[in-house]
């Protein structure tokens, strides 16, 4: 005896689609979502079906439901692999993952994302790279490339922070490998110069002179003004680690005052273009 | 829509009113122990001469004078009993929940022998004096030496995944042991060496779920002269020739209870709650009483010209053998009557699940 | 027309819902093919196979191939009726898996599929009696509506489980192991009497391992039967077993390369010759050895105990095959989920070095250290092999951040201090940097305080911590149930500490403090002399006063000057209080040292391990105060059962003065009672009480020659004087106390009944208790909740009690008060909330119990 | 204050790199392929991105207790896929790590209480 929920009145496919269109214009995301959903259910193979699904992805994204947007995009890619603007679906999937975990905390307070786990943003890297490999000349490629670079430079800088810690900790193999990891996995990112510096320093401490010289040579050729190089292009002793000297003040106060550890590598200001937040995506 | 579950159409049928045309008199009534256990046991009394023997699930064996209900003797077995009691060939046979057959003497119940088998025993063992036949839930039929309980042979019929609770009691004669199995097969064995005399498939499993494919032979077969009457669940009721096992007649029927035979009338209560009567020689359906649907009827029993059957609420209904019309009804035990009622023809012995044994006599007033 | 022809174009008619794409992809014909009649037949068959089409006919229009297609109807809606136990969504989901859902094409097989899928759902729930009726209603535009009517029937419940053939253990013992149970009164909640094949398989495995663990090597489950009562409402399970004999261990061998010396391995083996064989002991020994090898860096080690049976003498020879595998090295340590806490805060807790030899113990130890930080609700770790290498692993930690009270505005209510308002930021993971920073402003009737604390636990990479704190606090102890004084204190402190082992730390602090004590109206003898000494006041002694009174009342006059009055001296006003001796303001330099050891498993609401802390604080000589204080707190968790844990805790304190200070300043006393101490008693009210206040009211006793006529008439009353007691037996006004040589004064007794109960504290604290932690039923996420049944005991003593201080004893264990009750702590978004109800078991007559205590938004 | 020396800051052992034992070195033969060498010595933790024909097996252990540092380097050279030269010292048979300074604080497997020890009579 449950009251039968009344069937939505069957407006024709076209009316439903145009209603949703106008709602999108007036950024009424929720109502647009409902109309597009009923359109998809009742006319799954109609003429507007594919376009409606693309609109639905966008509506979900704008109404702050990244998961739903990703799911809809995924289904679209599976159903219409050859559709002419399937690249939009890839792009939106990347974008939704990119913004997914920006809690209030990150937005309000300036937090240095390079020191933390970028969270789900890591997935968006995979989505964007799929977009770039499959549709290099898609209209969204440029923005996707810019975001990828931003993300990859985040991850690269993260590696350098870890290397700095391991130098402090005295785990020199770990530190050197972190530098090498950046070199091999994040080419053309602003962290490359610091990665080379890390390798130079690491190999020197480990006593692998040949590798140290090689890295130093590459660093000198490409980034001559890197602080780890002194005027004559040799290794700047100020950065040398190992069991350096401790000031007597530091020694008697159990190392509580005048800590004398060499500074870590962080040349973001010098090599990293002042990266501002990439702009909101325009409508498809 | 009502809160307490609306009528789904498969509740047990209401009892129909009728005026009794037969007087049912209680001859005597006596408590004989704790009755049936919680393992859905069917501990059935057994008549031998003037004595009626009973056993309860706690192990209390009673021997009563069946004319007046006086206790002759009783004996406490320290074990929980899952099957019993049979009283042929001078000895009493019961079985424990741990799969052990115990033989007692009919005078005083002293223990003759006991034999541990591997499998749960839910039907009273039977004997022809030489060999004791025992069926177990894991699809085996054992033959033990009646003198000392030693195992002679056993045959195994692996049971299907889902079966009905309980097994039929085998029939042990001098030249054959007849046993029905939960896979729908009826077999006859040579009592001495266990070789198979003949084998009949009574019912074929059909359907997809384990439930639809159940075709257990649960009813105790009845042997009279040359004919063996058997019935299976979701299968057939049939008369077969005892020598060859070939089918004389067969009708579609589904019952999990024992049959009753009186003269040329064969009575059975179906799983759906119908009481039916067949012509024993031709198998033609005489009548069906459909006023007790879904009341989970137990095994029918003939008495005088009537047939008695009990239901899940513990009512015993008497119907006329020829018409199937109700003639009388008595309430015996609200927990029900799992044990088949015993009779010598004119007195009906009913053992309620809570352990009260009552003797009724029926007279047309 | 010739039999075959070349296809110039393909035209499709009659498509409504199916996309042309799927038709073309199913059609084996392409434009330009040469077709024969046979090709057309096979094409039609192909299209039918797609399953979407009711009818397909392929014709020719010249060289154009024409496909006329009539689509099958699509399911517009599925309507479920009569399902109560299983909700419609889950039924629709199971239908969807057999792609029977709205929008799908309705095929003949669909009907059969629906009944089967639903039946399987119900049989899976043990409802053998369920039945399904379906009817299909046509709708416009080639759609159909599927109406399903379900009768669920009753659920079959397990009535009895019978194990046949067991001699060594009785049925009850064995069925107790089973997860499936016969219907009991609790079954309607747990549903453990519902039959499921997997559960039965699991139960039989448990039964087998029970026997194998006790030496029955030949144990076998021969067969099991599941049977149904005729009315399909009861299920019976029978397991036929054969136990076999008990096997004894004949000898224990090691085989393969143990990689670490045999002695260590042998010590880990729990299986001994002559002992009954036990599978669990064998597998546990293998696990210990595997872990031990893991600690040595052999992360890929495999150890297996193989029993070889000797059936004649029922013995078994056990050989442990050890394959250490390659020594593994850690390639990278990755952290996921730390979106707030920075990487270094996690990495510095690592005991496993990246780029070094992998050790399971160190990885496990690192996980425990992360949990101890208290920043994460949950920490998971797994070691993953690095593809392409045979001996390298990555260690991946996944953490789940938990709010560690960043910006908290706590409005709380604690009985003793009334409304507690505290705004501030106390955060021990400041912006995820792992630094502990706190600006705290708190105000309540008891205390107003401003407090800034800063501490960097990893000032150096090895964990040397450095921090400081500045504070101002004015507290009126009256509202903390401590007798009459308030203090204003401000100061600063430098703190640092460092680990002396992985679980022990030593710390020092040094600081300046300036303290001012203000007694209020019901201060006590110990604090300040009472009655208050008024300089220059005059007194008359008792009998002289009586004599004068008597004579004046009978009209006799006296010559002026004949009554001499003395001026009071201090010692007539009772013992000097602390403040009288040492003044009211104190500036001192405080130094402290602490030693702490903790193996607790979690930062907040721990339930495993133990922690203890011994601290020694001294007010350095040269300051206004000279006292020292020992304070020892310890707690220990001992798991009782899988869900119950016993917590033992204690706190011992001793303080005393030294040098030229001969009694401990009263504001440094220990107190006991209430939360964090002996629950069930009013806060801080246990132990010594103040000796009651005295007030001396001057008497209208002296007569002066007011009118200067040389004679003192009886009406010439002069100034008020004090009465000096020298004859205690003489009649005195009510409540007055006469100590010889002291001014007669009145004691105000109601101090003990007022708010503070006259509590004063003492210099020795003994306190402890035992609690049983139990999980609340029905609540899933217990990580933020702790419920306990506790017994608390303790009291405060004083080694030099004031003469008339009631309830003040030197250390005497028989005076310990005790209470027992239930406590609940919940870490909510606002911070910890604590409730407790308790009953005293043993208390002194002056101790006041308090049945219900609670505190919101404030750690106790 | 008294000559009670404050216990030093507890420092953990820092172990880096690969343990190459004498027994491993004894299995090396000139001309072995890279796969064979990798099977014997294991994967190097310090692959050189620019030169895959030189494999350095570096090992170091700084003891937290006394700060002593022991360092070993073992290098192999290849031409094409053939081992042509190796040089360097191998680590003396390593004492089981857990008995060194680090041992005491990483107790026997910490999660022992998860493995239920049966109350077998």
Percent of chain C with pLDDT over 70: 89
Which chain C residues have a beta carbon less than 8 Å from that of A117?
Answer: 335-339, 343
Q: Which of D11, D19, D110 is facing C361, going by the closest CB pair?
A: D110
pLDDT in tens, C131-166: 788 888 887 767 788 888 888 777 788 888 899 988
Strand, coil or helix: B56: coil
Q: CB distance from D45 to chain A under 8 Å? A: yes
D positions 33-52 inside 8 Å of C (CB): 38-39, 42-43, 45
Supply the pLDDT for residue C701. 57
Q: CB distance from B214 to chain C under 8 Å? A: yes
Testing the interface with B: which of C130, C171, C238, C243 to mutate, by most B Cβ within 10 A? C238
pLDDT in tens, C380-406: 999 999 888 888 999 999 998 876 654
Q: Which of D10, D14, D117 is facing C284, going by the closest CB pair?
A: D117
Strand, coil or helix: C351: coil
Question: What is d(CA B236, CA B217) in angstroms, rounded to the nearest whole number?
Answer: 9
C-alpha dihedral sign at D34, D38, D43, D44: negative
Question: What is d(CA C583, CA C604) in angstroms, rounded to the nearest whole number?
Answer: 43
Q: CB distance from A174 to chain D under 8 Å? A: yes
Q: CB distance from D53 to chain A under 8 Å? A: no
What's the complex ipTM? 0.67
C206 pLDDT more than 70: yes
Supply the pLDDT for residue D101. 34
Which chain B residues have a beta carbon less than 8 Å from that of C240?
Answer: 99, 118-120, 138
Mean pLDDT of C358-369: 88
CB atoms within 10 A of CB C261: 9
B100 pLDDT more than 50: yes
Supply the angle between the helices A13-25 and A29-42 in degrees, to the nearest 10: 160
Mean pLDDT of B247-276: 92
Residue B93 and residue B85 in contact, taking contact as beta carbons nearer than 8 Å: yes
pLDDT in tens, C654-697: 999 988 888 888 888 888 888 778 888 887 788 888 777 777 77
Q: Report strand pairing: C504-519 vs C645-657.
A: unpaired
Supply the pLDDT for residue C714. 67
Mean pLDDT of C603-628: 88
Q: Residue holding tokens 């299209």?
A: C47
Supply the pLDDT for residue D100. 34
- The radius of gyration computed from the CA coordinates of chain A, to the nearest angstrom, equals 26
pLDDT band (50, 70, 90) for residue C34: confident
**Does D16 contact A173 at a Cβ distance shorter than 8 Å?**
yes
Residue C563 and residue C712 in contact, taking contact as beta carbons nearer than 8 Å: yes
Supply the pLDDT for residue C814. 87
Mean pLDDT of B171-178: 93
HEC profile of chain A? CCCCCCCCCCCCHHHHHHHHHHHHHCCCHHHHHHHHHHHHHHCCCCCCHHHHHHHHHHHHHHCCCHHHHHHHHHHHHHHCCCCCCHHHHHHHHHHHHHHCCCCHHHHHCCCCHHHCCCCCHHHHHHHHHHHHHHCCCCCCHHHHHHHHHHHHHHHHHHHHHHHHHHHHHCCHHHHHHHHHHHHHHCCCCCCHHHHHHHHHHHHHHHCCHHHHHHHHHHHHHHCCCCCCECCCCCECHHHCCCCCCCCHHHHHCCCCCCCCCCCCCCCHHHHCCCCCCCCCCCCC
Supply the pLDDT for residue A1. 34
pLDDT in tens, D49-106: 888 888 999 888 888 877 788 888 889 999 988 988 888 877 665 544 443 333 333 3
Supply the pLDDT for residue C755. 63
Q: CB distance from A2 to chain C under 8 Å? A: no
Q: Which of A240 and C68 is assigned the larger pLDDT?
A: C68
Mean pLDDT of B49-58: 93
Testing the interface with A: which of C346, C355, C395 to mutate, by most A Cβ within 10 A? C355
Residue B182 and residue B234 in contact, taking contact as beta carbons nearer than 8 Å: no
Q: Cβ contacts of residue C55 below 8 Å, gap of 6+?
A: C69, C70
Q: Which regions of chain D does DSSP assign to beta strands (E)? A: 14-17, 54-62, 69-79, 82-88
Supply the pLDDT for residue B227. 93
C580 pLDDT more than 90: no
Residue C341 and residue C375 in contact, taking contact as beta carbons nearer than 8 Å: yes
Supply the pLDDT for residue A248. 67
**Does C295 contact D7 at a Cβ distance shorter than 8 Å?**
no
Average pLDDT, chain C: 81
Q: Which regions of C676-780 does DSSP assign to beta strands (E)? A: 694-695, 711-712, 722-724, 736-737, 745-747, 764-774
C276 pLDDT more than 60: yes
Q: Report strand pairing: C645-657 vs B60-65.
A: unpaired
Question: What is d(CA C180, CA C194) in angstroms, rounded to the nearest whole number?
Answer: 7
Of A72, A81, A150, A154, give the one whose Cα is nearest residue A114. Answer: A154
C201 pLDDT more than 50: yes
pLDDT band (50, 70, 90) for residue C333: very high
pLDDT in tens, C725-759: 777 777 777 777 777 878 877 777 666 666 666 77
pLDDT band (50, 70, 90) for residue C409: low
D positions 52-91 inside 8 Å of C (CB): none
Regions of chain A where pLDDT drops below 70: 1-11, 42, 44-46, 100-111, 119, 239-263, 270, 273-284
Question: What is d(CA C447, CA C422) in angstroms, rounded to the nearest whole number?
Answer: 11
Q: Which of C281 and D5 is assigned the larger pLDDT?
A: C281
Print burial letters for B29-57: b (CB count within 10 Å at least 16), e (below 16).
ebebbebbbebbbbbbbbebeebbbbbbb
Which chain C residues have a beta carbon less than 8 Å from that of D39?
Answer: 390
pLDDT band (50, 70, 90) for residue B329: very high
Percent of chain C with pLDDT over 90: 14
Residue C591 and residue C510 in contact, taking contact as beta carbons nearer than 8 Å: yes
pLDDT in tens, C217-230: 888 999 899 898 88
Percent of chain D with pLDDT over 70: 69
**Does B97 contact C231 at a Cβ distance shorter than 8 Å?**
no
Q: CB distance from A248 to chain C under 8 Å? A: no
Residue B346 and residue B303 in contact, taking contact as beta carbons nearer than 8 Å: yes
Supply the pLDDT for residue B258. 93
pLDDT in tens, B105-160: 998 889 999 999 988 999 999 999 999 999 999 999 999 999 999 999 999 988 88
Question: What is d(CA C375, CA C401) in angstroms, rounded to the nearest whole number?
Answer: 6
Testing the interface with B: which of C114, C123, C223 to mutate, by most B Cβ within 10 A? C223
Of C801, C822, C802, C823, give the one whose Cα is nearest residue C812. Answer: C801
Supply the pLDDT for residue B40. 87
Supply the pLDDT for residue D2. 39
Q: In what order do the strands lie in the sheet with C220-228?
A: B162-164, C220-228, C234-242, C157-164
Residues of C contacting chain A (CB within 8 angstroms): 17-19, 102-103, 331-332, 335-344, 347-348, 353-356, 431-432, 459-461, 464, 466, 496, 498
CA atoms within 13 A on the CB side of B28: 12
Supply the pLDDT for residue D41. 87
Bridge partners (DSSP) of residue B73 are B63
Q: CB distance from D54 to chain A under 8 Å? A: yes
Residue C746 and residue C722 in contact, taking contact as beta carbons nearer than 8 Å: no
pLDDT band (50, 70, 90) for residue C836: confident
Q: Which of C856 and A183 is assigned the larger pLDDT?
A: A183
Residue of C nearest to B233 (CA): C230
CA atoms within 13 A on the CB side of C842: 11
Question: What is d(CA A123, CA C319) in angstroms, rounded to the nearest whole number?
Answer: 49
First-residue to last-residue Cα distance in chain B: 49
First-residue to last-residue Cα distance in chain D: 57
CB atoms within 10 A of CB C356: 26
Of A180, A145, A187, A128, give the one whose Cα is nearest residue A159. Answer: A180
């Amino acid at each position: 005896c449950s009251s039968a929920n009344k069937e939505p009145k069957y407006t024709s496919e076209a009316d439903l689609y145009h209603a949703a269109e106008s709602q999108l214009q007036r950024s009424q995301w929720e109502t647009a979502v409902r109309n597009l959903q009923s359109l998809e259910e009742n006319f799954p193979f109609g003429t507007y079906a594919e376009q409606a699904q693309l609109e639905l992805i966008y509506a979900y994204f704008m109404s702050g439901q990244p998961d739903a947007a990703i799911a809809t995009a995924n289904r679209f890619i599976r159903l219409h692999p050859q559709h002419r603007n399937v690249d939009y679906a890839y792009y939106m999937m990347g974008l939704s993952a990119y913004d997914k975990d920006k809690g209030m905390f990150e937005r309000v307070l300036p937090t240095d994302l390079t020191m933390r786990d970028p969270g789900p943003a890591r997935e968006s890297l995979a989505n964007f790279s799929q977009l770039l490999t499959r549709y290099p000349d898609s209209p969204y490629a440029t923005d996707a490339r810019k975001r990828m670079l931003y993300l990859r430079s985040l991850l690269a800088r993260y590696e350098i922070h870890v290397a700095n810690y391991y130098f402090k900790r005295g785990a020199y193999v770990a530190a050197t490998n972190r530098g090498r990891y950046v070199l091999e996995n994040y080419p053309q990112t602003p962290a490359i110069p610091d990665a080379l510096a890390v390798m130079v320093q690491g190999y020197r401490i480990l006593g692998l002179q040949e590798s140290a010289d090689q890295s130093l040579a590459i660093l000198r050729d490409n980034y001559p003004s890197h602080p780890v190089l002194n005027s004559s292009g040799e290794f700047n002793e100020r950065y040398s680690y190992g069991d350096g000297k401790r000031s007597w003040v530091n020694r008697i106060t159990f190392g509580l005052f005048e800590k004398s550890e060499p500074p870590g590598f962080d040349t973001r200001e010098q090599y990293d273009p002042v990266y501002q937040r990439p702009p909101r995506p325009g409508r498809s | 829509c009502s809160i307490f579950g609306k009528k789904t159409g498969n509740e047990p049928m209401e009892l129909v009113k009728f005026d009794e045309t037969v007087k049912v008199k209680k001859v005597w009534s006596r408590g004989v122990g704790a009755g049936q256990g919680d393992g859905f046991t069917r501990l059935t009394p057994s008549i031998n001469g003037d004595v009626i023997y009973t056993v309860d699930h706690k192990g209390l064996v009673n021997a009563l004078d069946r004319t007046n209900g006086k206790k002759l003797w009783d004996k406490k077995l320290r074990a929980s009993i899952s099957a019993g009691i049979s009283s042929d060939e001078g000895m009493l046979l019961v079985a424990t929940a741990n799969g052990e057959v115990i033989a007692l003497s009919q005078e005083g119940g002293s223990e003759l022998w006991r034999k541990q088998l591997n499998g749960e025993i839910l039907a009273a063992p039977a004997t022809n004096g030489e060999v004791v036949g025992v069926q177990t839930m894991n699809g085996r039929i054992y033959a033990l030496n009646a003198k000392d309980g030693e195992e002679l042979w056993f045959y195994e019929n692996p049971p299907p995944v889902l079966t009905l609770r309980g097994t039929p009691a085998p029939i042990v004669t001098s030249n054959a042991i007849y046993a029905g199995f939960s896979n729908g097969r009826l077999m006859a064995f040579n009592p001495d060496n266990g070789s198979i005399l003949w084998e009949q498939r009574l019912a074929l499993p059909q359907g997809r779920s384990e439930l639809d494919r159940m075709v257990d032979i649960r009813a105790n077969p009845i042997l009279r002269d040359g004919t063996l009457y058997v019935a299976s669940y979701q299968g057939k009721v049939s008369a077969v020739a005892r020598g060859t096992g070939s089918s004389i007649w067969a009708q579609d029927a589904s019952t999990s209870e024992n049959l009753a035979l009186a003269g040329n009338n064969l009575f059975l209560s179906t799983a759906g709650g119908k009481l039916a009567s067949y012509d024993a020689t031709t198998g033609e359906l005489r009548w069906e009483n459909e006023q007790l649907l879904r009341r989970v009827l137990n095994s029918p029993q003939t008495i005088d010209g009537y047939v008695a059957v009990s239901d899940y609420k513990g009512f015993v209904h008497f119907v006329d053998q020829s018409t199937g019309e109700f003639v009388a009804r008595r309430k015996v035990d609200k927990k029900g009557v799992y044990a088949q009622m015993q009779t010598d023809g004119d007195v009906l012995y009913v053992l309620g699940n809570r352990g009260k044994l009552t003797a009724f006599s029926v007279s047309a007033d | 027309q010739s039999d075959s022809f070349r296809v110039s174009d393909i035209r499709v008619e009659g498509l409504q819902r199916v996309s042309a794409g799927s038709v073309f992809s199913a059609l084996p014909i392409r434009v330009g093919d040469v077709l024969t009649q046979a090709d057309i037949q096979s094409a039609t068959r192909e299209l039918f196979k797609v399953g979407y089409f009711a009818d397909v006919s392929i014709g020719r229009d010249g060289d154009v191939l024409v496909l006329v297609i009539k689509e099958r109807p699509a399911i517009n809606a599925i309507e479920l009726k009569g399902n109560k136990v299983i909700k419609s969504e889950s039924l629709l989901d199971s239908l969807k898996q057999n792609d029977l859902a709205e929008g799908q094409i309705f095929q003949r097989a669909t009907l059969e599929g629906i009944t089967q899928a639903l039946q399987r759902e119900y049989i899976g729930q043990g409802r053998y009696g369920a039945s399904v009726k379906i009817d299909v209603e046509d709708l416009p535009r080639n759609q159909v509506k599927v109406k399903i009517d379900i009768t669920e029937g009753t659920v079959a419940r397990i009535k009895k489980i019978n194990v046949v053939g067991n001699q060594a253990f009785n049925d009850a013992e064995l069925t107790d192991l089973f997860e499936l149970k016969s219907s009991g009164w609790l079954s309607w909640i747990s549903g453990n009497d519902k039959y499921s094949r997997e559960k039965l398989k699991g139960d039989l495995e448990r039964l087998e391992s029970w026997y194998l663990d006790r030496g029955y090597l030949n144990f076998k489950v021969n067969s099991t039967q599941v049977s149904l009562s005729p009315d399909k409402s009861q299920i019976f399970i029978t397991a036929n077993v054969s136990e076999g004999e008990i096997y004894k261990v004949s000898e224990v061998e090691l085989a393969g390369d143990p990689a670490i010396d045999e002695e260590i391995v042998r010590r880990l083996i729990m299986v001994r010759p002559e002992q009954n064989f036990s599978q669990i002991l064998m597998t546990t020994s293998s696990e210990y050895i595997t872990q031990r090898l893991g600690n040595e860096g052999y992360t890929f080690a495999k150890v297996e105990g193989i029993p070889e049976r000797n059936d004649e003498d029922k013995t078994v020879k056990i050989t442990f095959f050890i394959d250490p595998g390659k020594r593994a090295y850690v390639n990278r340590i990755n952290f996921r989920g730390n979106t707030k806490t920075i990487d270094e805060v996690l990495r510095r807790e690592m005991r496993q070095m990246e780029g070094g030899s992998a050790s399971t113990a160190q990885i496990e130890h690192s996980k425990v250290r992360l949990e101890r930080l208290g920043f994460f609700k949950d920490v998971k770790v797994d070691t993953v092999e690095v593809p392409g290498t045979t001996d390298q692993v990555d260690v991946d930690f996944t953490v789940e951040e938990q709010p560690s009270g960043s910006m908290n505005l706590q409005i709380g209510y604690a009985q003793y201090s009334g409304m507690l308002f505290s705004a501030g930021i106390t955060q021990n993971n400041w912006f995820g940097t792992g630094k502990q920073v706190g600006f705290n402003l708190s105000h309540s009737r008891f205390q107003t305080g401003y407090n800034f604390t800063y501490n960097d636990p990893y000032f150096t990479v090895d964990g040397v911590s450095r921090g400081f704190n500045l504070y101002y606090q004015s507290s009126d102890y009256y509202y903390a149930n401590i007798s009459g004084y308030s203090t204003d204190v401000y100061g600063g402190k430098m703190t640092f500490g460092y680990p002396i082992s992985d679980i022990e730390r030593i710390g020092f602090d040094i600081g300046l403090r300036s303290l001012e004590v203000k007694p209020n109206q019901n201060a006590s003898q110990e604090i300040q002399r009472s009655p208050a000494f008024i300089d220059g006041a005059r007194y008359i002694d008792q009998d002289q006063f009586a004599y004068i009174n008597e004579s004046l009342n009978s009209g006799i006059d006296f010559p002026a000057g004949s009554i001499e009055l003395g001026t009071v001296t201090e010692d007539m006003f009772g013992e000097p209080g602390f403040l009288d001796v040492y003044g009211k303001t104190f500036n001192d330099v405080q130094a402290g040292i602490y030693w702490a050891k903790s193996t607790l498993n979690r930062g907040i609401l721990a339930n495993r391990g133990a922690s203890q802390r011994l601290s020694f604080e001294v007010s350095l000589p040269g300051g206004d105060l000279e006292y020292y204080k020992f304070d020892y707190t310890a707690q220990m968790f001992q798991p009782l059962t899988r869900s119950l844990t016993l917590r033992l805790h204690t706190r011992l304190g001793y303080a005393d003065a030294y040098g030229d200070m001969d009694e401990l300043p009263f504001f440094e006393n220990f107190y006991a009672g209430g939360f964090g101490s002996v629950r069930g008693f009013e806060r801080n009210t246990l132990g010594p009480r103040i000796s009651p206040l005295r007030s001396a009211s001057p008497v209208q006793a002296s007569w002066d020659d007011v009118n200067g006529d040389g004679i003192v008439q009886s009406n010439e009353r002069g100034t008020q004087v004090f009465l000096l007691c020298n004859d205690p037996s003489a009649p005195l006004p009510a409540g007055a106390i006469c100590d010889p040589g002291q001014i007669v004064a009145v004691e105000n007794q109601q101090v003990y009944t007022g708010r503070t109960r006259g509590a004063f504290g003492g210099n020795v604290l003994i306190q402890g208790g035992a609690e049983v932690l139990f999980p609340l039923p029905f609540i899933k996420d217990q990580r933020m909740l702790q419920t306990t049944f506790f017994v608390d005991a303790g009291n405060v003593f004083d080694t030099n009690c004031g003469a008339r201080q009631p309830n003040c004893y030197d250390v005497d264990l028989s005076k310990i008060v005790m209470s027992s009750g239930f406590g609940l702590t919940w870490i909510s978004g606002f911070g910890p909330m604590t409730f407790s109800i308790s009953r005293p078991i043993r208390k002194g007559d002056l101790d006041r119990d308090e049945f219900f205590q609670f505190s919101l938004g404030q750690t106790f | 204050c008294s000559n009670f020396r404050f216990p030093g800051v507890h420092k953990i052992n820092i172990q880096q790199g690969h343990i190459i034992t004498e027994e491993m070195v004894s299995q090396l033969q000139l001309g072995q392929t890279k796969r064979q060498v990798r099977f014997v010595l294991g994967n190097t933790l310090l692959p050189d991105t620019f030169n895959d024909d030189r494999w350095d097996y570096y090992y170091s252990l700084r003891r937290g207790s006394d700060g002593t540092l022991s360092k070993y380097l073992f290098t192999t050279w290849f031409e094409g896929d053939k081992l042509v030269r190796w040089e360097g010292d191998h680590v003396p048979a390593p004492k089981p790590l857990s008995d060194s300074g680090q041992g005491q604080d990483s107790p026997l497997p910490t999660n022992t209480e998860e493995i239920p020890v049966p109350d077998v009579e």
